[in-house]
Structure 1
Amino acid sequence: MPILRILIFIISNFSWPREKISVGKIWRIIKNDYENKIIWRKA
């Protein structure tokens, strides 16, 4: 679930501030998950 991934990213950002993950990367992962769900529904 994308929500869980966002939470993991937020937690990891607090735990390791040096390895900050950009919003664009998070958005890409959410978008990929969303597109994959659409593909699976069509299949």
Structure 2
Amino acid sequence: RPAVIFSEFDLSAAMAGVEVFRSSGYKPASARKIVGNVLAYMTVD
């Protein structure tokens, strides 16, 4: 099933712990939880 997952902030950078000067974003633990939930959702029929 096609889907679009939109995030206002960069999840891959947040998972890697990369912080950009003066920008908002997810903490690494939060990004990992979000990505984990998206992957779990994708595997459900």
With a CA cutoff of 8 Å and minimum separation of 6, indicate the structure with the bigger relative contact order.
Answer: 1
The structure with more helix, counted as a fraction of residues = 1
TM-score, L = length of structure 2: 0.46
Greater Rg over alpha carbons, structure:
1
